[in-house]
Every structure is written in C-alpha cells, then in structure tokens.
Structure 1
C-alpha cells in the first residue's frame, strides 16, 4: 500500500471521528488503459470534500456530483465508467479504458481505527467487505494476496510500505535513495564507514552505522523488502547479502562488474547458501540502458527493482549481464565477418 492510500484511510477515519459520514471508493477492475490501478482509493466526505484519486479528476467530479445529488448509498454498490467510447472520453479514460469501482458508505471510525492500528504494527491485513451487508472484517493476509472482487465480496489487502535497504552511503546511493523515495519506498541506508556516514544528506531516509549483516537481520526482510549492496567491499556486502538471500526479500542485488559478481557468487557458496539462493542474487544490479553516471546507474537499478516488484518476467527485461554479453557476441560476430 502506498502512502497516498494510507493517507486516504487516515483522513476518512478522522472525518468519521468528527461526526461526518464518508463514501470510500475502491477501484476493483480496469480494462485497457486506466489512470489508477485496482486497489486505488478515494474518500469523499458527506459535504463533497475529497482525498485520494481514482482517475485524472473527471471520475472524482462525477462521484462528487452523485454524492450531492443522491447522498450516500445505504449499502455498498458497484459503478462502472468508460463502458462506451463516448463515456471513456468524457471521463478521461485513455484508449477506451473501462473502470469499475465499489462505493462503500462509512459511518463508524472504529473499524478504520482497528485497520490503521494493525498497519502501524507492520502487519499485512486482509479486509473483506460483504456487498449485501456492508460489513467489513479484518484478517491476516499473505504477501502473495492481492485485491479480489467476485460481485459478493471485495477483498482488499493493506500493508506496510515496501522497504529498501541500501548498503553504502556513496553518491550512487544518494541518487538511488531519492528515486526510491519518489517510488514510495521506506529507505534505510547502512554504512559503518565514518567518512561516508557524516556526508549523507538525503532527507526522508533512515541512516545507520551498524554492520550491514546486523541491519539485515534486525530488519527481518519479508516479501516487501529489497536489499542492494553498493559498496564494492566484500567485508560489508557479502555477509549482508548472505542474510538477505536466506530471507523472503523480493529483490537482492549487488553492484559491480560481471567478473566481480561471479567471484561474489563463489564466496556466497562458501557460506552454505544453496544454488537456488545464490541464483536469486541480481548482479550486476540493474537493467542495461547504457548507463555511465551514478544518476544513470541509479535509474537502471530502480527500473529493475520496479520490474521485479511488479512481477515483470525476466524474459521481458534485459539485465546488465545479458545485455553486455549480447553486445560482445555481436561485436565478435562483426569482427569475424570483417576478417573474412
């Protein structure tokens, strides 16, 4: 769950606690292009004030008009936008996109208080809404779960923000941390080296001087955690990577050349990691975009990080190692042809 949706739930709870009524809109299905994905939230107060987003603004305006005209519904209801080309254009849905939303009336702050308390404790929470009854229940969720809607029940999954641990506080880490903050990751930077620690200037991050492997263990990486080693120093990187590769972290990567990463994999095997665990290490980190500068390398790594987070399969992206190998093969082929 991103910070915008957390803000929506918090603001809705505050409005309810102040005695207002609230309409909570959740995107449940999209077809074609759509401005916001399934799970996106919008809260409308009974006087038309809004927080959150389900589109570029046109659908929000229509929902506010609907609220002023009809008031809050008695029970949850499903609404659709963009079924026809004319309506899609009217509501700013690109390429003939279609969107379905569940509109849920809220009157009691207690259920949202309970949800927000569990999120503050770092839990991943499933919220099941009965469309006929309007009653919502909470339960523990699994990382692989996502939003589901079958016409009778809306199941939403809420959880803590994705976390990113950067090992090393150098220039590349600064660029990558700023990008990750913009992507709504909670960013922790670990570097016990005093000369790097004292020069860190990226607001919004958590900086620690503890040893990287201790930080990984303390963070207890889960399926919403990424760990990237950026120091080039095996004493700092390897033990932390070992702990990260043994965890459910969805992305574990290391900077360095292909040769250095091959040597790193050999060292990791000496730590009794399985071949399957070593194989999950992404190194050299990033997608091949011809990057040269720290900022460009940060873009490359962030692109791979987001691709893996969003479930993009490896054959649909071109990691650095494969891209460079392909370029070398092409160069060798050209040289061979020129020599004939």
Structure 2
C-alpha cells in the first residue's frame, strides 16, 4: 500500500480550476502522484489538471513530465473511460529525459475528469472546513465520498485511489489586528483553517479576511471550545497582556504543536514569570515560543507574519524528522 500527504494549497487550486473547466466540452484529465522511489520533485498526492488543448494547472514534477503528459493528451494516448497508472524513471534514459533525481521513479494515476461531479461536491465541503476522503475505482471511475479523518493519507491499493481533501492544519489567532490579518492570509496558503478570536468589538468590525472564522469569545474559552490537537497552532497577537495570557494558560496545557506570543524578549520573560504563578508546569511553560517567530529582524506586519510561519514550518519539519527516526528505530 502506498501512502502520501493530504491536499495542499496547490492542489486546491487544481480542483477549483478543474471545476471551472467542466463547463467546457474540452476533455480534461487529472493526474495524482501515488508512488515515488528515491528523490522526487513533488510529494505523494501532488496533482495536475490538464486539458486537451494543453492548458494545465498544478504540478507533478519540475516540468519535463508535464510536457510529456501534454504530448500524450494531444496524441490521444490518455484514457477516456477508465483510470490507469503511468510510470516515469524506470530506465536511466527516462531519468535523464525527465530530469528526475538520481534513482527517482514516479507513478501517477491519470483519470478522465471532464464531467466529474465529485469535484463540485468536494469544493462545497472544503468551503465548510470539512475533511473529505475520495475513493476512486480505477476500472469503473466510480467515486465514493466520505468524511475524512485527520490521520487519513493519500493511498493507492488494489486498484483504489484514496485522496483526502480539506484543511490539514488549524490555527487559532488571538487578536484581529494588522499582523493577524497578514498571518491569516498567508496561513491559508499553507493549508491552515484559520480561527480568529477577539472579544473587542472595535477590532472585529474591521476584520476583512475571507474564509476565516471570527469569534468574540474570551481567549481562554476559545481555546477550550476548539478541538485542539497536534495539528493546531495557537498564536497570541493582541499585545494585551490579559487577553494573550488567558489564551496561553489553556493552550500550553493542550496538545497544540505550537504556542506562541508576540512581544519582546523581556516582555516574554516577564510573561513566563506570570504563567509560573498558575497551574502550569515548567515543561508546559517551556513550550512557549516567545518572542513568536524566527529571528529574522522582522519589523513590519507582513514580515512578522512571515517569521511566524517560517517557525511553524521549521517546527513541523523537526517533528516529522522525530517521527521518522522513531519509526526507523522500532523497525
């Protein structure tokens, strides 16, 4: 059985474009990376939508495989009534031709998708911040949609391709200020479902980031109301000590993979002293990222947002390495 990651923001763009293309009579195919050996330019689950006229969105490689797929489509070599597997890199000549990394082999599922009604249904569920699992029978093109689970992955097994669509990660931002606005927009591009909490009415009235959830609860209640898990980041950005600390008191006790607070080093040192007066252990307080974000000398709101997301990427990468090392040790 082959496994991969869930939908990323590039793949979401693929689905949206694919949905638009279905209003035309031009044949359309969807390609999904289902297996890689050695190095690969794109991860498992990466997608590409391709029209017969050569228009394409998404990516399954650095470009050479895409060029070959366009030629196959224009030579009418792609399936129209079933899905099938395409393999690249089995020979050294193919590796060089398609510029795959040394030892790299890639397998794709190609499916005709010009009239696929499941695309619209999946996009509707994603708009409601739902995870969706799609099972595709390669022989019959029958599609089944079910509720996705956080631990679900992209798999190909016994002729069934399972893909998972929807936001993979969750971010709770405390404060609806300018930094939060930039952070929310950028986080959405990295597959976060963004919830913004601010009990201050004057701050909520100016919030204008689409596809975010806006809460007027007190920060500690907002943390407790969420299904906080290992895919959740909680970031306090109000500069109001009372509001930020309320959120941190609950978030640091949770299973959130990242908890951060804005402010200078001295202010965050004082914050840690305040937190120690409550029912938090030294280890829990040690989980606080404060000042929030990587130290890249950021000053403007968008720079601060970039620094925060850079640290989130770093933390997630370190966690993946830890999981991988643990799995190897247990083999």
Please give the alpha-carbon distance, in whole angstroms, between the structure 2 residues aligned to 1:197 and 1:129: 42
Q: What is the TM-score with the length of structure 2 in the denominator? A: 0.74
Q: What is the TM-score with the length of structure 1 in the denominator? A: 0.72
The aligned counterpart of 2:246 is 239
The aligned counterpart of 2:98 is 91
Asked if 2 retains the 8 angstrom alpha-carbon contact of 1:46 and 1:71, the reply is no
Q: Which of 148, 154, 166 is matched with 1:159 structurally?
A: 166
- Secondary structure (helix, strand or coil) at the match of 1:269 reads coil
Q: Which moves more between the two structures, 177-186 or 71-80?
A: 177-186
Asked if 1 retains the 8 angstrom alpha-carbon contact of 2:155 and 2:162, the reply is yes
Q: Which of 9, 12, 19 is matched with 2:18 structurally?
A: 12
The alpha-carbon distance between structure 1 residues 197 and 279, as it changes in their structure 2 partners (threshold 3 A), is same
Give 5+ residue unaligned stretches, structure 2: 1-6, 324-331
Asked if 2 retains the 8 angstrom alpha-carbon contact of 1:181 and 1:204, the reply is no
- Structure showing greater radius of gyration is 1
Please give the alpha-carbon distance, in whole angstroms, between the structure 2 residues aligned to 1:86 and 1:140: 42
The aligned counterpart of 2:112 is 105
- Asked whether 1:40 is paired with 2:46, we answer yes
Q: How does 1:209-288 map to 2 (within 5 A)?
A: 210=216, 211-216=218-223, 221=228, 224-231=231-238, 233-245=240-252, 249-255=256-262, 257=265, 259-260=269-270, 262-269=272-279, 278=284, 281-284=287-290
The alpha-carbon distance between structure 1 residues 113 and 199, as it changes in their structure 2 partners (threshold 3 A), is closer
**RMSD of aligned residue pairs (Cα, Å):** 3.9
Higher relative contact order (CA 8 A, sep 6+): 2
The aligned counterpart of 1:122 is 129
The aligned counterpart of 2:30 is 24
Please give the alpha-carbon distance, in whole angstroms, between the structure 1 residues aligned to 2:203 and 2:119: 42
1:155 offset after TM fit, Å? 1.5
Asked if 2 retains the 8 angstrom alpha-carbon contact of 1:226 and 1:250, the reply is yes
The aligned counterpart of 1:327 is none
- Asked whether 1:69 is paired with 2:75, we answer yes
Give 5+ residue unaligned stretches, structure 1: 317-340
| Number of equivalenced pairs | 310
The alpha-carbon distance between structure 1 residues 168 and 175, as it changes in their structure 2 partners (threshold 3 A), is same
Please give the alpha-carbon distance, in whole angstroms, between the structure 2 residues aligned to 1:313 and 1:25: 26
